[in-house]
Structure 1
Amino acid sequence: MPSPEVNLSYPLFHQRCLQLNEAILKKSGQPFFSFEEGLPRDWENYKKKVCEEGRKRLAVDEWTEDEIGSGQIIRRLIAAIEIDIPNTDTTNNLIESGKRYGEQTRSHRSLYEALHDPGVTRSYEQLIYDLFKEKIPRDRAFQGFIDHAGKIYDYIAYVFFLYRPERYAPIKTTHFDRAFSMMGIPLKTARKCSWENYQAYLAALREVKKALELDGFVDVSLIHAHSFCWMLEHLVKETSGDLISIPLPEEVKVLGPVPTDRKNRDPDQNRRTPNGPIDYEAQHRKNIFLGRCAEYIAFRAEIRRLEMAGRPDLAEQVNIVSKNAALGYDIKSYDETGEERYIEVKAISGGNTRHSFYLTQNEWRTCTRLKNYYFYLVSGAKTSEPKIHFFKGSRLTEGHLTPSEYIASIPYARE
């Protein structure tokens, strides 16, 4: 089953990062730059410890098929859930344990109930055994837990977290629905416990993980993305109105003359910064993040433009297609008449009189082939008030292009 598509607003995500950093700095006196330092570590590192302790208590490698039906596997899973080690931060609050509101509210009560019926004990332990020994498809295992426990989302997700912590994550639906909303992710998980919804939830976490990596964080895991959402929802208040002011695209009326003083870029001129050599990998991540921000801003601007033109039907069809690089453009949109508009988005910086951007050979060819091809130049893509200027691709000529890189093809023959 392919992973569901999840769209995250990169510019909104960046603004939320800034807000969270401000909140963490105010609360702890230290900035937010790592999940392994300061308040994020103090608050969230327990999740790894709970998982490690839970897997240790499960001791899956020691399981044998002869144990199925004995109740031993269920008791091990109960122990892997009810983790509360005194005088440590290793306490499991990833699911409802029943401590606050009584045993009947604990999410894993079906495990206790199963121990009173030998037939249920056997079928439940067969399911648990098959999941952890990888003898059953995971979607069938998820449904099996629903059949035994009901749609108890936090309990089932926690079991899958114990099974493969690098791939699965726990969930508390109300908190994560709010966090996703704060980042522009249109996903609801509350009262929607199913394998399909869980996959969408995990896809959203992976998108957050990717955004964190592109925005400068290193060694980010899925559980770090989980922690980011949790801290965001707890420390940052949702604000009324939009954090990002989406502008209407402004057309460049006059494309200035081609400058005559251009020089080809010296490949060695930017190899160092005042503080030493450039970290090209980090710079590449920053460029991708900036591009994603610009892309989303242009996407939202197109929706707004068509809605204001009285074409909400076309606004609903605007789509980001940049994952298919072969197309040669980033957004498929429409003119007010319904004619398709192909948009290549470029994040730019600098003054208002001259801008430059990179253009691939495929983008240039597509620009010359499609008559309704546009360049959207987005400035201030990581600010709350970006700007968009656009012009039709047919106005760009070869005279505007300056070679900056070359491909060396060297044929040789063996002697």
Structure 2
Amino acid sequence: MILTAVINAIEIKENQHLRNNLVPWEPRHNQPSETRQLRSDLGIGPARLRFESDLFDLFHERREPAEILEDLVDLIGRRYSLIAYIFYLFDDNRFLPIGTTTFDRAFDELGIELRTAGRCSWENYQKFVESVQLVRAGLKDWIGIKNVHLIDAHSYLWLLVRLPQKVEQMQQQGLQRPGDLKAAMITLAQGVINRVDNATGSQSSGL
């Protein structure tokens, strides 16, 4: 039952515009989907019981999250996006989804020395969340809005990488798009860069 509930919380797609994009779960490049692979890996034997026990303990706060994350890594491998999404479902004030390639590029843009790809662990995940919290603080200071949620900073980092890619793709296809949105993102990024530098004492190279 728990595995089924997790899969239902992942496979959300009412239409092309209303779908879960916080964890990659649909089939890509002729590869099985994340959820299909999860079903295959866990089956109905001891592995599934262990997985469901870990999640039961997590959501009922019976064990430390660090211990559970490391146990999940041992059980299903370093499937960072999937594991992070489960933790985000558990507590969206403390945890975040992750797409390692996109966020590593965003951190590089902001001069944050953190790499997440292939490094799924409790320590790395905590550093990831802490880095997004730094960006959140920068956004709050820059745009003057107090109520900036952690997921808002997460979305900003995603857009920082993906929006220029989308604009470039549209231009290559001969389509026109006003450049003010991209310019605003870059301006906002520069403000965040300055504030992240002040918080960490580092110097970034800018955009």
In structure 2, the residue matched to 1:136 is 63
In structure 1, the residue matched to 2:131 is 204
Query: What secondary structure, in the 3-state scheme, does the structure 2 residue paired with 1:131 have?
Result: helix
In structure 2, the residue matched to 1:175 is 102
> After superposition, what is the alpha-carbon deviation per residue over 1:316-351, rounded to whole angstroms, capped at 9, x for unaligned?
xxxxxxxxxxxxxxxxxxxxxxxxxxxxxxxxxxxx
Are positions 1:81 and 2:10 aligned together? yes
Q: Are 2:138 and 2:196, in contact at CA under 8 Å, matched by a contact in 1?
A: no
In structure 1, the residue matched to 2:24 is 96
Q: Hey, what's the Cα distance between the residues in 2 that align with 1:293 and 1:102?
A: 40
> After superposition, what is the alpha-carbon deviation per residue over 1:114-140, rounded to whole angstroms, capped at 9, x for unaligned?
2332x2222211111000111110101
In structure 1, the residue matched to 2:189 is none
Q: Hey, what's the Cα distance between the residues in 2 that align with 1:124 and 1:293?
A: 38
- The Cα shift of 1:225 comes to 0.4
In structure 2, the residue matched to 1:222 is 150
Q: Hey, what's the Cα distance between the residues in 1 that align with 2:119 and 2:32?
A: 22
> After superposition, what is the alpha-carbon deviation per residue over 1:243-290, rounded to whole angstroms, capped at 9, x for unaligned?
xxxxxxxxxxxxxxxxxxxxxxxxxxxxxxxxxxxxxxxxxxxxxx9x
Listed as ranges, the gaps of 5+ residues in structure 2 are: 166-191
Aligned residue pairs: how many? 175
TM-score by length of 2: 0.75
Query: 1:103-118 alignment to 2 at 5 Å?
Result: 104-106=32-34, 109-117=37-45
Identity of aligned residues (%): 33
Amino acid at match of 1:127: D
Q: Which has the higher strand share?
A: 1
In structure 2, the residue matched to 1:242 is none
- The Cα shift of 1:98 comes to 3.5
Q: Hey, what's the Cα distance between the residues in 2 that align with 1:100 and 1:120?
A: 25
> After superposition, what is the alpha-carbon deviation per residue over 1:33-58, rounded to whole angstroms, capped at 9, x for unaligned?
xxxxxxxxxxxxxxxxxxxxxxxxxx
Q: Where does structure 1 differ by over 6 angstroms across 4 or more consecutive aligned residues?
A: none
Q: Hey, what's the Cα distance between the residues in 1 that align with 2:66 and 2:51?
A: 16
In structure 2, the residue matched to 1:278 is none
Query: What secondary structure, in the 3-state scheme, does the structure 1 residue paired with 2:78 have?
Result: coil
Which of the pair has more CA radius of gyration?
A: 1
Q: Are 1:160 and 1:169, in contact at CA under 8 Å, matched by a contact in 2?
A: yes
Q: Are 2:110 and 2:196, in contact at CA under 8 Å, matched by a contact in 1?
A: no
Give RMSD over aligned pairs.
2.6
Q: Hey, what's the Cα distance between the residues in 2 that align with 1:103 and 1:163?
A: 28
In structure 2, the residue matched to 1:188 is 115
- The Cα shift of 1:103 comes to 5.6
- The Cα shift of 1:295 comes to 5.0
The 1:190–1:108 alpha-carbon spacing in structure 2 relative to 1, beyond 3 Å, is: farther
Query: What secondary structure, in the 3-state scheme, does the structure 1 residue paired with 2:14 have?
Result: coil
TM-score by length of 1: 0.39
Q: Which has the higher helix share?
A: 2
Are positions 1:145 and 2:43 aligned together? no
Q: Are 2:106 and 2:161, in contact at CA under 8 Å, matched by a contact in 1?
A: yes
Amino acid at match of 2:8: A
Q: Hey, what's the Cα distance between the residues in 2 that align with 1:172 and 1:295?
A: 26
> After superposition, what is the alpha-carbon deviation per residue over 1:85-142, rounded to whole angstroms, capped at 9, x for unaligned?
137x33112222133334635266234432332x222221111100011111010110
In structure 2, the residue matched to 1:234 is 162
Q: Are 2:58 and 2:65, in contact at CA under 8 Å, matched by a contact in 1?
A: yes
